[in-house]
Amino acid sequence: MENSFEQKLRPRRMRINENVRAMVRETNISVKDFVYPIFVVPGENIKEEIPSMPGCYHLSVDKAVELAREISALGIPSVEVFGLPEYKDAIGSSAWDMTSPVQRAIQAIKAKVPELVIVGDVCLCQYTDHGHCGELCGHYVDNDATLKHLQKVAVSQAEAGADMIAPSDMMDGRVAAIRQALDDKGFINTSIMSYAVKYASGYYGPFRDAADSAPQFGDRRAYQMDPANSREAMKEVELDLAEGADIIMVKPALAYLDVVRQVRDSINRPVAVYNVSGEYAMVKAAAANGWIDEKRIVLETLTSMKRAGADIIITYHAIDAAKWLRG
Ligand SMILES: [Zn+2]
């Protein structure tokens, strides 16, 4: 039979069946790409679901260790530890208190599940009584005063056993300050995963319930980035690399995949994305209503992050995705 028109190029040949598709697949996600964020709280034997983040829990240290074991058994290489402290004050001093849930959880997980790479989130908003990410001067977050506190938080987490320090505060110069503080204390092998490109985003809503970290006044636009800017993202990346960041993060992920690609194409360091609470909550809510196929949407979304250039994906979907990928 003769074609009525020339059809030499038929891309559908490469989609003919699953084995062919697998052979030419350009992007594969793996359980090894994931970091699972956990929220630790004071107390014992606590595992309470976070209402706006179904499937995620507030965990006491003992329960966090249990979950860490499960995470590691699934092949997920890393957890990032967030916490709710026992007390809050103007400068967030519970953030570097070695008896706080975060430091105790890091210690306990490192002792019981030593292979897990522990990332410590460094910020003050969960620990200040005003909910901002640093020390205030009037209504302004005082950059340089805050750096001194961040250094203490980073060192306390490294002392507890964190392998990686992840500053999320968006103060200028924090990476250099933290690098110096870590090196001064001998933590030369503790790496820094910088939230270099962190936008002032509406997608953080559910996290603020989870971490009880909503600001008491104003918002974070005077330190987090304007969602409209991508050239500025490259400036932040350049500064953090010069200051000694080992890994560069873009946060949130989904609404900023163009920025992820731009960063990936411009640097030779690993790139991480944070698939944030709002992105997670939207998927969970739609899935609970039967409006979407959760597994399919999650794997497609995580693939899009990898395709955009992310090496590391911090995601609340990690446990489910690990099970799905295992088949
Ligand atoms: Zn913060």
Query: Is the pLDDT at 1 greater than 60, yes or no?
Result: no
What does the alpha-carbon distance between residue 235 and residue 283 come to, in Å, rounded to a whole number? 32
CB 75 within 8 A of CB 14: no
Q: In this structure, what token pair is assigned to residue 269? A: 């360091």
Q: What three-state secondary structure class fits 257?
A: helix
Q: How far is the CA of 220 from the centre of ligand 1 (A)?
A: 9
CA atoms within 13 A on the CB side of 78: 21
Q: Fill in the amino acid letter for 48.
A: E
Distance 168 CA to ligand 1 centre (A): 6
Pick the catalytic residue: 63, 88, 198, 284? 198
306 has catalytic annotation: no
Is 8 tagged catalytic? Answer: no
List, for residues 91-139, the tens digit of each pLDDT value. Answer: 999 999 999 999 999 999 999 999 999 999 999 999 999 999 999 999 9
- Tokens 């794997």 -> residue: 299
Ligand 1 centroid to residue 126 C-alpha, Å: 7
Element containing residue 90 per DSSP (H, E): none
Question: Any residues with CB less than 8 A from the CB of 137 and at least 6 apart, and which?
Answer: 145
Of the chain, the end-to-end C-alpha distance in Å amounts to: 43
Percent with pLDDT over 70 in the chain:
99
What pLDDT is stored for residue 7 in this prediction? 80
Q: Would strands 34-40 and 78-83 be described as parallel, antiparallel, or unpaired?
A: parallel
Question: What is residue 164's predicted lDDT score, i.e. its pLDDT?
Answer: 98
**In this structure, are residues 63 and 46 in contact, taking their beta carbons and an 8 Å threshold?**
yes
Centre of ligand 1 from the C-alpha of residue 277, in Å: 14
Q: What average pLDDT is seen over the chain?
A: 96
The third-level CATH classification (topology) of the domain covering 29-326 is TIM Barrel (3.20.20)
pLDDT per position as a tens digit, 39-97: 999 999 999 999 999 999 999 999 999 999 999 999 999 999 999 999 999 999 999 99
One-letter amino acid identity for 46? I
Ligand 1 centroid distance, CA of 59 (Å)? 20
pLDDT digits (tens, 9 = 90+) for 177-229: 999 999 999 999 999 999 999 999 999 999 887 888 889 999 999 999 999 99
174 contacts: CB under 8 Å, gap ≥ 6: 122, 146, 147, 150, 167
The residue ranges of every structural domain in the chain are 29-326
Q: Are strands 312-315 and 164-167 parallel, antiparallel or unpaired?
A: unpaired
CA of 30 to the centre of ligand 1 (A): 29
| Identified catalytic residue from 32, 63, 235, 251 | 251
**CA angle at residue 158 from 156 to 221, to 5 degrees?**
70
What's the CA-to-centroid distance between 91 and ligand 1, angstroms? 12
**Residues making up the chain, counted from first to last:** 327
